Amino acid sequence: MKVQTESLIVSVLIILAGIGALEVGFSSSIFEILAGTFASNFLKLGDLPWIDFLSNLGLLGLMFFAGLETDPELLRKHFLKSLFIGFSSYFFPLVSVFYFSHYILGYSFEASILIGIALSTTSLALVYPLLKEKGLLNYPAGQILLAGAMVVDISSMLTMSFLFEGINVYNLVFTAVLVLLLFRLPKWGEKLFERYSGNQIEFKTRFIVIVLVALGFLSEQVHINEAVLAFTTGIFFAELFRKDKVIEKKIRALIFGFLAPFFFFKAGYSVKLSVVSLKVIFLALFLGSIAFVTKYVGTVYATANLFKGAVYKLAGLFFNMRLTFGIVASVFGLEAGLIDEETYVALLLIIVSTSLVASVISNRFPHETSEDLLEDIFKI
């Protein structure tokens, strides 16, 4: 099938997914995942390599904006709370899934650890838009939960890097240089914006797009999850964007209107129903139930004493949304020979289905949670 035809079909499916989300009142990202699954299994479109670049930019853009909307001062103030929430939400399911995978299902130690990592992640790319839709990002509760989700992602990344890839001097030096670069980039950008303002080439937009593309390259060099790297970069650029609301609107339209839907579509496109068997269904139901329940319990345990109202219940659901790093860990396990294709498909089904279940349940809560439900109790 020609690229032009594939592009048209994918574009129509993404538009229909957006319309469906607006009509039903669900997150558009979930419908875009379903659209990708439908296209992959019923339309036979092929590998669609051209979507990889767009979907990667979409992920980076989503996380960049998540960083922009994060209040650094609030993060510093509630750092221990975010750390506690993140660790509790990550290690509860990690230990549980590892135990059942290794001692009950008989997977090897390495495979069990990998399965545990894949099913213990929380997708910043899904949590961010849902917190935004619920109006939680306007309050300390939402900021703390967003930071907690980042802790989960970082914990996943570090666990996998330490156990399977190793940490060497090169990576440490490269990371240190990258941190110094992030401190300087916003200043350089501000000077360039002043020099080339008032022209028709949209230099500011080009500069931000180049930064996002560079983040994808740098994440591979330092073995840092690209979502975490983009999120951190967004925090560094937050002050610059506060001074220029026009560029923020332009980049937001580019990311949310064009690139982000391709990221979610590609996530669904990776699910192949043709290899589904009784073993896959059993693994998906068994491990998926353990992962969902322990993730919910671990998150609620950490948040129930911090927030009142519906916030801790929403947190348990939102943190059950696995996507980005869960898929990365699953792909790594398949390519490294740690898991077979049936286990790989089961993991993808769990990652997508638990996100869908969490989204459906959370949709029963008010579309925007009222302010009186978002007050902190500050018990710790």
pLDDT at 365: 64
Q: How many whole angstroms from its chain centre is CA 234?
A: 14
123-133 pLDDT, tens digit per residue, is: 877 787 778 77
pLDDT at 74: 67
Contact 169, 176 (CB under 8 A): no
How far apart CA 152 and CA 88 sit, in angstroms, is 9
pLDDT at 116: 94
177-191 pLDDT, tens digit per residue, is: 767 776 777 777 777
Question: How far lies 172's CA from each of 156, 161, 212, 221, 373, in Å?
Answer: 18, 12, 22, 11, 43
- Whether the pLDDT of residue 198 is over 70: the answer is no
- pLDDT tier at 223, thresholds 50, 70, 90: low
- What's the chain's length in residues? 380
How far apart CA 257 and CA 248 sit, in angstroms, is 13
How much is the average pLDDT of 297-314? 82
Q: Find the Cα–Cα–Cα–Cα dihedral 124, 127, 128, 133, rounded to 10°.
A: 170
* Nearest Cα to Cα of residue 102 among 113, 117, 92, 91: 113
Within 8 A by CB and 6+ apart from 274, the residues are 41
pLDDT at 90: 94
How much is the average pLDDT of 164-186? 67
Report the share of the chain in percent with pLDDT over 90: 17
Burial class (CB in 10 A: 0-12, 13-18, 19+), 183: exposed
How far apart CA 315 and CA 95 sit, in angstroms, is 20
- pLDDT tier at 200, thresholds 50, 70, 90: low
How far apart CA 326 and CA 338 sit, in angstroms, is 15
The pair of structure tokens assigned to 161 is 């890097």
Higher pLDDT, 311 or 13: 13
How much is the average pLDDT of 203-215? 81
Looking at mean pLDDT, say which of 15-19, 59-63, 164-168 comes out highest.
Answer: 15-19
pLDDT at 142: 82
Q: Domain coordinates of the chain in residue numbers?
A: 61-246+275-373
How much is the average pLDDT of 198-205? 68
pLDDT at 48: 78
Query: DSSP of 132-177, one letter per residue?
Result: HHTTGGGSHHHHHHHHHHHHHHHHHHHHHIIIII---HHHHHHHHH
- Whether the pLDDT of residue 379 is over 60: the answer is no
* Nearest Cα to Cα of residue 236 among 184, 193, 188, 194: 184
pLDDT at 163: 77
How much is the average pLDDT of 111-119? 93
Contact 257, 24 (CB under 8 A): no
CATH C-level class of 61-246+275-373: mainly alpha
79-112 pLDDT, tens digit per residue, is: 888 889 999 999 999 999 999 999 999 999 999 9
pLDDT at 126: 77
Across the chain, what does the average pLDDT equal?
80
pLDDT at 292: 94
How far apart CA 205 and CA 168 sit, in angstroms, is 36
Question: How far lies 319's CA from each of 290, 334, 338, in Å?
Answer: 14, 25, 26
Angle between helices 140-160 and 311-318 (to 10 degrees): 30
Name beta bridge partners: 376. 307
pLDDT at 143: 83
Query: DSSP of 318-363, one letter per residue?
Result: HTT---HHHHHHHHHHHHTTSS-HHHHHHHHHHHHHHHHHHHHHHT
pTM of the model: 0.73
How much is the average pLDDT of 146-175? 74
